[in-house]
Structure formats: C-alpha cells, structure tokens
Structure 1
C-alpha cells in the first residue's frame, strides 16, 4: 500500500535552511537546478547532465597532445628513487618543469600561464609520475594559488599570477593547525586590524604545509573579528612581508621529496588589499572579504579534488602495464602467472576500477568546464574513489609481483608509500563521505519539507498533491520504464540497472529523513553507506556514458569498453544494494560496535586477556 509522507518536523525543516514554503516541484524538476549527483538523492538520473560523455574539441586535444608528450619524456628521465632517498627534487628537474609550463597550467595565457581547462589540467597531472613532484606542482596550483585564480580580484591576479605561472615564485595553501585539520572553523591563528585600518597583523602557526618552506606566496586563513564575532578570513601573504618563518622539513612516510613543514607568523603586516574574496562576485577583496575565508577555503578545496581522482587513474594505468608485463612473462608451475584464475581476477578488478575512476574524473571536469551547477559532490567522489582505488591497486600489484614487488629495486613499495597520503589530505575521506552524504541529503530534504507542508495543509495546492501521489504510485508500480536518453542500445540493461538502483536510493534517502530529521547529521555510519551508494551510482553513470560514446563513435576500443561498463554496472549495482540493505538492517549492529569502541576508549587499550594467559605487565 502507498504510504503518504508524514510531515517533516519543523526542526528538520529549519536544519535544511527552508524558511518559506516554495512551490512544489517534482523530483525531476528539482533535479534540473542542481548537479547530477545531487539529483541522485532525489531518485533521479538527470540524463541531460550525464549524456553524452564530455568531449574535448579537436584543437584542445591537439594542444594537450603537444604538452603531454614532452611531459611523458621528461618523467622518463627522472629518478624517483633518488628523489625519495635524498628527500630532494634536483634544481635541474625543477627548471625543466618550469620550462614545460607546469607551474601555470590553468593560469590564463595573458598572465604567463597555459590557460588549460579543468580537463586539460587533469590530463597533464596524470603524467606526473613521481609522487613528490606531483604533490609539489599540485599543491602549488590546485590549492596554493587557486584562491587567487578563483576569488582574486583583477589587481591581485595581475600582481601575483604571472610569477607563479612561470615558477619564479611558488605558492602554498596554509590552513591546517595542531587544533584544526578538517575543521577549518576551529583555527587559532589570528589577524587583527591595525588602528589606521590599512593592514592586518597576523600571528600564529600552521602545520603540515605542502611547499611551506619554499613558497614566496601563501593563501593563509586566520580568525578575524567581525562585529564582535570570530570569522575566518583568507589572506594573500608574501614571505617578503617579514615575520614569516618555516620549520625544518617533516620526515614523511611517502612523497619524501616534497616539502612539508610548519609555518610561523610573527606580527606579519598584511595590507588590507590582500584580503581574498567577499563582495557579490566573490572576488572583491579588501575589507569586503573579511569573514569570508571559510567560503574561500571550501571553494579552493572543492574545485581541486578532481585532480586526485584523475592522477589516481593515470597511476593505475601505469601500474597495470608494469604488473601485466610481469604476469605474462613470469612462470610458476610451468605456466605464466597470467594463466591463473586468481591473478586474472586481480587484473579484471584493477581494470574495472581504473575505467571507473577515469570515467568519473573526466565526467566531473567536463561538467565543471561547461558550467554545470556546482560540482563539489562529484569532485569529492573522485577524490575518495580514486585515492582508495590507487592504494588498493598498488597493493594488488605488489601481490602479483611477489617478493620482487617488495624490493626497493622496483618502484611499487614507493608507490604504496606515496599514495597513502591521498586519502588524508585535501579533506580526509571520512570527512568527504560526510560532505557527499549530507550535501545530497540536504537537497532531498529541501524538497521533502515542501511535500510534508502540502500534505499537512492539502488546500494549499491540491493539484501539486495529486501530481505527487500519481508520481509515487507510478514509481511503486515501476510504470516509468523510459530508457535514459543517450544510453547506447548495447548498454540498455546497464542503464536500467542504474535507473532502478537510483530510484531505490532516492526512497531510502526519504526514509532516513523521515526517521531522523535534523539528527541525521549524527548518523555517521548510515551517512557513510549513503555516500558509498551515491559514489557507485555516479561511477555507474560515468562508465555507461563513456562506453556509450565510444560505441556510438565506433572507436577501436568500443567493444572492450562495452564489456567494462556492463560488468562494472553489475558489480556497482550489487554494492549499492548492499549499502541500502545495510541502511535498513545494520543500525543495531552499529550500536554494538560503538559500545565496544567506547570500552576500548575508556581503558585506552585492547581489553581481552592474552589467549595464552601470559599477559603483559
């Protein structure tokens, strides 16, 4: 029986920012004003945002090919092992990177950069084969100077970007403190406006800053007083202002050649015109930007995370090639490793994972480049999926290589150490899963609050209620079997799987909202399941879209891509179902798991006696 929705508690409505009851839109109509992945939380596949797969122009492809080829050749000459052991990137290598234009990939050409799109930037970053160099270059421009590029006014861009584009100066993103990692609002570094109101005085310290010892220009975040309240403000800080010092380089597990250190500020005088952001355009700067630093920080991070996904995909391609060469030549028991089922399984899954993250990353960059509604969820999905797929891929490659892969003569152990950071920086994967889930749930909650209000007072808009009931009945009876526009006929079954899982996902989101209201933010394991289901739905979409485009164009790899998309859709569908089942059934187990963890925290140790009876003193 169709159950009409109960009224959402007013507290839940307030939690999702709804002050007035707008006109009810259908889920399909509501999805048209948001990014593709936000639409998933409404139970909708907005095909117009996902099909056909984004494509570069022929001119862009030609330009990128001319850039990518010399980058590949350059990195073939770089000794990554030496960089790792000496913890230093040679100066001649840095000069080569400058000559290639790799410090200004997205800076406009009239400011000495290459002016690449997000897609172009991601494609070049794929070929940065050494982890230390990749982090150095990406910390410089993906986050370090990105605030000036996104939120800087024209004067700030003209002053700073030309030298940053050529690598004459380096940039750093200076946010993290001992007391604040992912929680940017809790920073303690403070900037106080001078009496004559011409500059701010900055004091405090930051930790784990990539390029922190090398950067001449830094995007720094500090607390400022705004109408008696502390609010974060973003500043462009030059080392040349004085009072800026750096600690010694940190000794790290991986990316050892990159510079990571503490940065200290002692009465640093920052001109008021060096405030970032603010104003109706988000780029005004000056006093208009005071208190808008959190928005600037999130804008920078949300726009950069897709790069980790793309880079992960490029590294997985490289790893598969090396491991496959070994598997097809190494013999055991009279047969090559590649003939064994357990080895085939590893390569099959690695290939599916690589196809998925590539498809996700370049669908996301394509969406951003064409100006789709803000794609922070998609970018976060790329970072989470890519970082975990790469670490798993390196681990599996080492297993295939056996003892050889464990030795420093081969690069796999270094790849493992280097890739471990990816699930930590630019927002831990745990925090990003909460971002994905709660941002999407907010979109669904805004619409659901309107539905609840209308059913509470049906005379407000009886036609809307009738339409909503009809729509729900049709979905329950599965009468809406219209195929997704843009899906190739060969992938019809995959498209239907995507539609079915998306509908079920939308229903479970509504159930969670009704049950928890504003308290849904505290249901972290449920939100993790929501995020993982959403990630796999987006991955299904991206792979089906990419393979559909390949089939329509009859590319040389189309048949192989069809096989990848079909099988990936089936695996991902199973994962989505498992997450939805977990949402329905695992709550009590979650509570028991928490109880065990609380006992461990209380004792601050592993509690059971040793199984031999011989306990530690």
Structure 2
C-alpha cells in the first residue's frame, strides 16, 4: 500500500494549482443600424449578437458555419505548475492501481475492497477538483481527466464509485453552492469522510427529469422543507452521507400569484433523519459500485440547503450532468488503451498457419480501427476539458457527443479485442469479459445516448442560418489545419456546408413538428458526431505535425483515414434525411414497431408453422 503523507504534501503545496479564471472577453456592441424602426434594429442586433457569441463548433455547423476557435489549434491549457502537479500525481496513481487494487476481486465481492477505499482516501482521490482551501487537490478539468483516464484503464467499478461521488454527487455544491454550503460540505466529501450521491432518477422518471414525483413542502414557519419520495439506481446510494436530491416544490409566481410545481435541488444529509436505502442492486456490470434505491420519509431539510435557488432544480441537474460528461470520455479512453494493449499482446505472440496473426489483413484492420476510435475519443476528452478550463460556456453539445461516442467506441474496441483473442478473450482470466460487462451501462446512464442524440439535434436545429461561413479559406478548407491534411480539411469543409443546408431544409420542411421526426434527427445527430470527430482529429494531428512529434506520421494516417470514411458516413446520413426511399423505410419501420407493440410479441409466422 502506498503511504500518502509525502504525496498529499506535494499536492497541497501553496502555489502549485492555479485557479482558472473564466474567459473575460465579450463582443462589443455594433453601431446603430438605420432600420425601418428602432425596435426592429434592436431586435436584429440582439439576434445577431446572440448567434455570434456562441463558440460551439457543433452548434454552428447547424448554421453551415465552421466556428473553430475552440478547436484550432488543438488547445493546450496547462501551466508549468499544473504540469508539475500532474506529473507528481500520475505515477503514484498508476502504482496504486497496479499494486493495491484488484479489479477482479472487487467484481467478485460486488464491492470495492475496504483497504482500497482507504488507500484512495489517502491519495486524495475523493476530492480531486475540490479547491485546496476546502481540503481538496484543486485540479483543473484537464488534470482531472488525466487521472480519471488511469482509473478507467484499471477498474470501471472503482471509477463509478469515485465518479458518482465527485463528478455528480457533490458537483452541484462546487458549481452552484453558496460560500456557506461549500465551507460546510466540501471538506468532508473531499477527504472521503462522507461519501456523496446524485439522486435524480425515480421509478416513473428516467430521461424525463421533469416528471419526478418526490416532493418537498416548506414548513409553516419557513425554516425547513419536508421531503417525501424515493429514488432508484442511485450510485453510492447505500454508502452516501450527503445527497444532491431533486424534488418538486410549489413555487408561486410573484407577478401572477399562480402557484406551480417546479423542481428544486437540495443538499440532504443522511443525518437529517428519514433517509434509508434498499439492498445493493444485482447488475450486469460495474458490480463493485454500490447501486441502491434511496427513500426519503418526512426528511426535514433546512432552507439553507436549497441548492441553486428554489425552482431551479432542472437547471442545476443539467449543469451538473453537462459539466461531468467529459470525464466519461477520459475514463473510457483509458479503458480502450487497456483493451487495445491486451489485443496487441495476443496478436503479436499468437501463431496460426505458420504466421503471427498480426500479419493477417483482417486482424490488422481490427487493430487499426480500434486505435482510430481511441484516438478520436481521447482527442475529444482533452479538447473539451481544455475548453472548460479556458472558461468556455459553449461546450455542452460537444460534451454530449463525447459521452455518446466514447461509450459506443469503448464497447466496440473491447468487443473487437475479445474477437482478436478468440476463445482466450472470452475467458474470465483474460479480464476483458468483466470490462465488457462494465462498459454496457455507459450508453445508458447520465443521459441515454438516444436522448443525447436528440438533445444535440434539437438544440442545433434551434439555431439560425449563418449569413456567411466562418473559419473557411477561399478554397473551402478549414483554417489552421496542417498542409499535409489539406485534402481532409477540404472534405470537412464541404461536409459542414452540406450539413448546414440539410439542417436548414429539414427545419423549413417540418417547422415546430421537427421534434417528432426522430428518425431524421438521429441521422442528423450521427452526422454532427462525425463532423466533430473529424475536426478534433484534424486539429490534434495538425498539432503533432507542427511540433514534429515522433508519432506525427502515425497520427496523420489516422486522421486521413478517419475523415475519408467519416465523409462517406456523413453523406449517407444527410442523403437519408432527404431521400424519399429512406422516408418510406422510416414509415415502414414505424409501422413495424407499432404492430409489434400492439401484438406484444413477434408477428411473423414460424417457418415450420408449428
């Protein structure tokens, strides 16, 4: 077991971690316009300003614009002091997971070993992003991503335990808490003395957070709320002492006097009373993490424990989830490294037909595609964390894409690693069957990939068409891409323009009814994911080529193949959105599904008729 006295001293040395200040730049007001009326001029100015201020690449491609400010050049935000801190953290963290944590044992016991938990507390792993003044390590998002990557490469069960605690469990206190709330709660959750959990999901409320039924009513004297309800599938639910809980509360509009229920976020302590939990759930994967139902019965919550203001719970929940999604991509890039290394070790030692199997084209294609998926995921994770550390507020669509992409890519990579290893990969001792089981949940929790795709498409469809393309040269390529990748840059530029026109045409055709066109929106979302993935790999590979890194040639090949194939997928998806054949297919698929649901079983007759 690593003892951490020197380690913690190093982490908490004054001056090692700098606070990241939010971006201070703001667009200046444009000159008054000689419009037909002052009201129309103000309205036009307000709309144009609102559009120009959003720096999200994904948001802007729905306008046919290439806003690359946050992506090119590939961001590098760590100061020398932050790099020094990170270097001091990486080796001890790697060593701890290699020597002190047994992922197979945790999986078999269906809990994280007590000694491992204590070791993680000593390492400071429970308060990585908590400011130093509150007893935490004070890491930036980018530093945090690098350590989360290590956890993801060793044990996703431990990763969920830590992530549920700090990425979402007490994250609301960090980003929406007032000074008193931070001072009261952060020191104990940062030390690991108190475990935290995020309590949103209910039996009748999954992706639709607004339909929750838990209810908190203000007492007559106005001193506290009384909470009743239950939450299901809560990570750390059976361990947590501090919960971020969401419940309906009656809110009266001061202007109209009308009272309506709105969701409010609360900081709830188990010590308040009336808090209990069920037995740990039996799950397919991440068995080491504690998942339980949590019950609240006449739980009294002091009014000072309202988080983010009464009636603002939905906003708080979305801020927490949006803020934490980049960490999932970082963790899963670590998981992919583990799976790829397993496959490479096997492929370069396994002999068949008198040759090593890595000499066969089928195996080579698998390995290369696994590496490409990892490269995209890793590039997304660190681009988004850097954007956040630079003070950007326009990263939510990119974070949603990174969660979808990473969770699906990690599944594919690990599945293919098992395939490369054949029967050995299927065996428990190889370690990949546990990883595959653990990975399955990532496409479901913290926003299902299906809902996040709709979130990306519908949010993007709410933008306005650009009057001019941004970020293009006269040749249609993206500015800032290395000359070696000019052809790929041109492909991306053309794809962005085509995407913008398709998005605009779809909105013009369906108007407000676009929300019901999920067959089309999913294709649009998939195309947007490929566009963003192409941008990040071109940006990262360009950086490597410019710096003449030893891996630059390798990265150039990855970027070129990725963009070539992504362009084809984008074209197919955009064609499907407009094609009459696809429209008929979607209609038939809808009917098939309705018939199945109406029948409650397979409809096609058995081939034998009996």
Same-fold call, TM > 0.5? yes
For residue 75 of structure 1, report the CA deviation from its aligned partner. 1.0
Instruction: Provide the secondary structure at the position in 1 that maps to 2:233.
Output: strand
The 2-side partners of 1:25 and 1:223 are apart by 34
Q: 1:10-409 maps to which residues of 2 (within 5 A)?
A: 21-23=43-45, 30-55=51-76, 56-77=78-99, 78-128=101-151, 129-227=154-252, 228-277=259-308, 289-409=309-429
Q: What's 2:547 paired with?
A: 553
For residue 24 of structure 1, report the CA deviation from its aligned partner. 8.8
For residue 82 of structure 1, report the CA deviation from its aligned partner. 1.1
| Structure 1 outlier segments of 4+, above 3 Å | 18-21, 23-27, 29-32
Q: What's 1:452 paired with?
A: none
Q: Is the 8 A contact 1:198 1:272 kept in 2?
A: yes
Q: Is the 8 A contact 2:238 2:291 kept in 1?
A: yes
Instruction: Provide the secondary structure at the position in 2 that maps to 1:150.
Output: helix
Q: Is the 8 A contact 1:222 1:233 kept in 2?
A: yes
Instruction: Provide the secondary structure at the position in 2 that maps to 1:581.
Output: helix
Q: What's 2:5 paired with?
A: none
Deviations along 1:597-617, whole A, 9 cap, x unmatched?
100000000011111122xxx
For residue 374 of structure 1, report the CA deviation from its aligned partner. 2.5
Q: Is the 8 A contact 2:340 2:414 kept in 1?
A: no
Q: Is the 8 A contact 2:473 2:479 kept in 1?
A: no
The 2-side partners of 1:541 and 1:25 are apart by 27
Aligned in 2, Cα 1:99/1:127: closer, same or farther, shift over 3 Å? same
Q: Is the 8 A contact 1:35 1:372 kept in 2?
A: no
Q: 1:515-530 maps to which residues of 2 (within 5 A)?
A: 515-530=509-524
The 2-side partners of 1:519 and 1:22 are apart by 25
TM-score with structure 2 length normalisation? 0.89
The 2-side partners of 1:201 and 1:508 are apart by 50
Q: Which range moved further: 202-211 or 80-89? A: 80-89
Gaps of 5+ in 2: 1-39, 253-258
Instruction: Provide the secondary structure at the position in 2 that maps to 1:22.
Output: helix
The 1-side partners of 2:74 and 2:193 are apart by 38
- Pick aligned residue for 1:437 from 438, 457, 475: 457
Instruction: Provide the secondary structure at the position in 1 that maps to 2:430.
Output: coil
The 1-side partners of 2:289 and 2:207 are apart by 21
For residue 548 of structure 1, report the CA deviation from its aligned partner. 0.8
Deviations along 1:532-584, whole A, 9 cap, x unmatched?
11111111110011111111111111111111111111111111111101111
The 2-side partners of 1:57 and 1:142 are apart by 23
The 2-side partners of 1:546 and 1:60 are apart by 21
Q: Is the 8 A contact 1:31 1:38 kept in 2?
A: no
Deviations along 1:37-78, whole A, 9 cap, x unmatched?
111111111132211111123332221121111111111122
Q: What's 1:577 paired with?
A: 571
Instruction: Provide the secondary structure at the position in 1 that maps to 2:225.
Output: strand
Deviations along 1:253-285, whole A, 9 cap, x unmatched?
0000110000000100000000000xxxxxxxx
Deviations along 1:211-254, whole A, 9 cap, x unmatched?
00100000000000012211000000000001000100001100
Q: What's 1:8 paired with?
A: none
For residue 159 of structure 1, report the CA deviation from its aligned partner. 0.3
Gaps of 5+ in 1: 1-17, 278-288, 449-467
The 1-side partners of 2:370 and 2:355 are apart by 22
Q: Is the 8 A contact 1:31 1:44 kept in 2?
A: no
Aligned in 2, Cα 1:100/1:19: closer, same or farther, shift over 3 Å? farther
Q: Which range moved further: 130-139 or 309-318? A: 309-318
Say whether 1:599 aligns with 2:595: yes
Deviations along 1:467-513, whole A, 9 cap, x unmatched?
x5xx59x99xx994254332111111111111110000000010011
RMSD: 2.0
Q: What's 1:495 paired with?
A: 489
TM-score with structure 1 length normalisation? 0.88
Q: Is the 8 A contact 2:265 2:307 kept in 1?
A: yes
Q: Is the 8 A contact 2:54 2:394 kept in 1?
A: no
The 2-side partners of 1:434 and 1:531 are apart by 7
Q: Is the 8 A contact 2:149 2:331 kept in 1?
A: yes
The 2-side partners of 1:152 and 1:219 are apart by 11
Q: Is the 8 A contact 1:132 1:255 kept in 2?
A: yes
The 2-side partners of 1:322 and 1:124 are apart by 21
